[in-house]
């Protein structure tokens, strides 16, 4: 058994609904963590141990969110390089069979910038999470509200884009007949 079929099952372009679910889970985790952080900050006499647990949760979250990002970028790079193209007529939900659209220079640059950023933040989260004492946890978790809010905005956008791409891929394959006239006009199809 080769690894290519396993990797193909993880591709965001071939199976966007899986990544939509993963990114929704990270978005939900972000919202819950933000609520816990704000709740801890707003309490009059915060429990030092509880604050440490919240900050530790943030560091775990930061590492996991960066790991998800790196994985998604890795599969996007494989798709960009044509690793999943087999010519066997398989169908991508985001790209019709046999159609490999040439990417613009801007898309290529954006992919490699995203790859670099994902690697940088993932390595940074690994360094921060390595051998932390309670004092280091408090020091390293400064700015966590800003970071979680920024991640929420980014993941909300990713979820939105994946949902739009998923809907558009369904429309390209002839599923527009099932939409009502108001849905079509709302999407600009009429």
Pick the residue with more confidence: 124 or 184?
A: 124
- Tens digits of per-residue pLDDT, 66-107? 999 999 989 888 888 888 776 554 444 444 444 556 667 877
Question: Whose CA is closest to 62, among 136, 151, 146, 132?
Answer: 151
- Tens digits of per-residue pLDDT, 151-186? 898 888 888 888 887 777 665 544 433 443 334 434
Residue 95 has what DSSP assignment?
Answer: S
Pick the residue with more confidence: 155 or 28?
A: 28
Rounded-to-integer distance, Cα 118 and Cα 70, Å: 5
The predicted structure's pLDDT at residue 182: 39
The predicted structure's pLDDT at residue 39: 82
- H helix or E strand, kind and range, residue 101: none
Give the burial class of 37: count Cβ atoms within 10 A of its Cβ; 0-12 exposed, 13-18 middle, 19 or more buried.
Answer: buried
Q: What distances in angstroms separate CA 47 from CA 14, 50, 105, 138, one per listed residue?
A: 47, 5, 52, 13
Ramachandran quadrant class, 142 (left: phi over 0; alpha: psi -120 to 50; beta: rest): beta
Inter-residue contact 150 to 14 (CB < 8 Å): no
Share of the chain above pLDDT 70, in %: 69
Mean pLDDT across 12-17: 82
Mean pLDDT across 15-44: 87
- H helix or E strand, kind and range, residue 125: helix 105-129
Mean pLDDT across 13-26: 88
């Amino acid at each position: 058994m080769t690894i290519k079929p396993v990797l193909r099952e993880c591709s965001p372009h071939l199976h966007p609904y899986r990544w939509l679910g993963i990114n929704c889970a990270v978005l939900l985790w972000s919202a819950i963590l933000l609520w816990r952080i704000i709740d801890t900050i707003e309490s009059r006499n915060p429990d030092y141990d509880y604050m440490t647990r919240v900050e530790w949760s943030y560091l775990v979250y930061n590492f996991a969110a960066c790991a998800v990002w790196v994985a998604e970028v890795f599969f996007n790079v494989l798709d960009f390089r044509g690793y999943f193209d087999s010519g066997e007529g398989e169908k991508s939900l985001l790209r019709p069979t046999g159609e490999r659209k040439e990417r613009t220079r801007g898309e290529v640059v954006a992919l490699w910038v995203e790859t670099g950023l994902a690697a940088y933040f993932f390595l940074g989260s690994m360094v921060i999470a390595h051998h932390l004492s309670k004092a280091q946890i408090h020091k390293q978790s400064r700015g966590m509200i800003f970071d979680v809010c920024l991640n929420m905005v980014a993941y909300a956008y990713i979820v939105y884009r994946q949902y739009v791409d998923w809907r558009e891929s369904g429309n390209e394959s002839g599923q527009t007949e099932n939409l009502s006239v108001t849905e079509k006009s709302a999407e600009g199809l009429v």
